[in-house]
Structure 1
Amino acid sequence: MLLNVSFVAETRSLDNQFDCEDVNEACLKEAKGKRLWKKVRYQLIEYHSLPGFLRDNEFILGYYRSEWPLKQVFLSIFSIHNETLNVWTHLIGFFLFLFLTIYTATKAPDLMDLSSLQRLSDMIRRANLHKIHPELLNCLPSLAFPSMDFLSSVSGNIRELLANCLPDRFSHTNQTENSILHGVTDDVMNMVAPLMNRSITRWPFFAFLGGAMFCLLASSTCHLLACHSARLSYIVLRCDYAGIAALITTSFYPPVYYSFMCNPFFCNLYLSFITVLGITTIVFSLLPFFQGPKFRVYRASLFFVMGVSGVVPLVHKLIVFRNQPEAIQTTGYEVLMGVLYGLGALIYATRVPERWRPGKFDIAGHSHQLFHILVVAAAYTHYRAGLLYLRWRDLKGC
């Protein structure tokens, strides 16, 4: 009887040992399976495996992220996939325009003053005042290289200052010299007056910089987060389209405002028209059907029409200011900007070069990346034009 009990106990002990080993082995397999699934789950997939909301460009065949958790989506900004360059091209552009905004607010006015002073100094030297009165530059040495402090001191009455400096010579000079002096002092006053009354508003220029930053940041966010879920993709895509419309709309503000600031009717007319068109485009972009791949050409065409609408105020400016060199210079920048935007929209709509060799441009070189680069280049070109507008109006006013 005791032998039987001992045998049964030993048998049960062996069974429990085998059960524990089986459980441990099962746990190990399960843990390995979870780790493997985690690795596989965050692997890049091909186009044919994508859910419908992520299918946009059938010529990009691989390296897609699909329905990743937000943590993994955010971390993917530092990994390689077919959206990496789409994210970084506009993210770098955003930081570029953030720097330009700070630079414009702090440094650009000083640079414009220096440019204005240089022009004034050149004009005075060309006037050859020392040939009329050799003592003049000894009396007013600052006149050869004027500073802002000097301009402030003489802005009240340059002719009176000259008379006080050379009372005898100035009052008894012959008629020819007197007319030359009067002409020179009038020219100096005409240049000093705008410098002493620099009240040209900057809001149109900063509105453009704000629109550019919003567009670039919205685009980067869209390309980074759209793969998370259909709901988040729906939201960020609309932000992306709104950003494009905001960039195009605010791009009109500096050229329209600074070209027609002295003609309120046309200034308000053009600004109102482009603002209404921009808001309409943003509202239209919020419609769900507008996001489908089959509307790619319509999306590009809508934004293209917004850009082309700027031809009217551009031609109007050239007619009104055809003798102003600043009008020609700014127009050159604006034409280059339009060419860059138009080329970008054409590449985006036609999906070249990936349509020529599907799968060869999945990581780098596909149409959307080229579109992004051209957008940043066009916006920077417009920034350069904006600086010319500010300098022009600061010097000459209306």
Structure 2
Amino acid sequence: MPKTIQKRGNTSTTTVVEGIINNTDNGDSIEQVKRKVVYKLYRWDEIPEWQKDNEHIISGYVRETNSFKGCLHSLFYVHNESGNVYSHLLPGVFFFFTMVLNKYGITIYSTTSIVDYLMIDLFFFGAFCCLILSSLFHCFKSHSLKVATLGNKLDYLGIVILIVTSMISIMYFGFFDNPLFFYFFSSLTFLFGGACATVSLKDHFRSREWRPYRAGLFVAFGLSAILPILAGTFYYGIEETFIRIQLKWIILEGFFYIFGAFLYGVRFPEKYVPGSFDIWGHSHQIFHILVVVAAFCHLRGLLSSYEIVHSRL
């Protein structure tokens, strides 16, 4: 296994990775030799302005590489984005394979249809897109400003995809006997999702003057999830709505999303002890972990809602 040694100076951290490589001598023999590959991690005051985002994280930066190969190499040593990459990469891979092998992880009823599989897979697809686009952004954001900007746009797009697929999948089973409600609220979700995707991808809407409107649109998108709950409560009653969409899991999901976003917004805990959470435990990593926990809460509620529908049928 490679060995990682960290050397700390006054201004930067150098990570030395010792590995084993094969070397061919004169074409007739192969001997193993050790080679030291040095990856230098930089401090806040050593990176370009465009890379600066959180002044409370002092060190551990991968400086602008202008190389996709260099960004990929960063997967194999520890820096301050490693937690952000792997906390979404590994669950993203899990959701992908669960989507492919869903017949082995979902209870099958005599009434189970291909549409049921598609709706559950819709959520798996949304979670996969969100987590993979996020991990790719954090892996390649050190390439250049242009690549980081594109990656940030795709990161937001992944969030929109996850929200849309989460809401539609749970509404399908919650309104299984009321297609009018399902199609109406699904159309509303697509409308909000399309608007949020547009303001996330178009440079014109990403300017400073559009920031409050962009934030307001995302807030409205999130609050729109309350509308089908209110409609269900009016039509079915509180207790029945609670059962149909497994509201306890949806509320827990929302709590983890909001709490994670709050910690990220206030930069807790690194704001209060700058430099202590440079590599592990800073707010963005906590936010990533809570997003994954929230996704699993939704999955638990979605599968329970599916089972309730078919046990009644």
Match of 1:49 in 2: 46
Q: 1:292, 1:361 → 2: CA distance?
A: 31
Q: CA 1:360–1:108 in 2, change beyond 3 Å: closer, same or farther? A: same
Equivalent residues, number: 276
* Aligned pair partner of 2:87 in 83, 86, 89: 89
Q: CA deviation at 1:287?
A: 3.3
The 5 A counterparts of 1:14-93 are: 39=38, 42-68=39-65, 69-93=67-91
Match of 2:271 in 1: 355
Q: CA deviation at 1:301?
A: 6.0
**What TM-score results when the alignment is normalised by the length of structure 2?**
0.79
Q: Deviations over 1:99-130 (max 9, x none)?
A: 432443334134xx4xxxxxxxxxxxxxxxxx
In terms of fraction of residues, the more strand-rich structure is 2
Amino acid at match of 1:264: P
Q: 2:266, 2:114 → 1: CA distance?
A: 43
Moved more, 284-293 or 56-65: 284-293
Whether the 8 Å CA contact 1:260–1:267 is kept in 2: the answer is yes
SS at 1:81 equivalent: coil
Q: 1:293, 1:343 → 2: CA distance?
A: 25
Match of 1:217 in 2: 132
* Aligned pair partner of 2:115 in 201, 218, 221: 201
Identity over the aligned pairs, expressed in percent?
A: 33
Q: CA 1:47–1:53 in 2, change beyond 3 Å: closer, same or farther? A: same
Q: CA 1:328–1:213 in 2, change beyond 3 Å: closer, same or farther? A: same
SS at 1:109 equivalent: coil
Q: Deviations over 1:20-60 (max 9, x none)?
A: xxxxxxxxxxxxxxxxxx95xx4111112222321111111
Gaps of 5+ in 2: 1-36
Q: CA deviation at 1:370?
A: 0.4
* Aligned pair partner of 1:100 in 84, 98, 101: 98
Match of 1:286 in 2: 201
Larger of the two Rg values belongs to structure: 1
Q: CA deviation at 1:325?
A: 8.4
Q: Deviations over 1:216-257 (max 9, x none)?
A: 000000000010111211211111110011111111012212
Amino acid at match of 1:349: G
* Aligned pair partner of 2:188 in 273, 280, 288: 273
Whether the 8 Å CA contact 1:318–1:328 is kept in 2: the answer is no
- Asked if 1:307 corresponds to 2:305, the answer is no
Whether the 8 Å CA contact 2:260–2:287 is kept in 1: the answer is yes
**What TM-score results when the alignment is normalised by the length of structure 1?**
0.63
Gaps of 5+ in 1: 1-37, 114-194
Q: 2:88, 2:219 → 1: CA distance?
A: 20
Q: CA 1:101–1:396 in 2, change beyond 3 Å: closer, same or farther? A: same
Q: CA deviation at 1:258?
A: 1.5
Q: CA 1:345–1:301 in 2, change beyond 3 Å: closer, same or farther? A: farther
Amino acid at match of 2:186: L
Match of 2:167 in 1: 252
After the TM superposition, list the runs of 4 or more consecutive aligned residues in structure 1 that deviate by more than 3 angstroms.
197-200, 287-305, 321-326
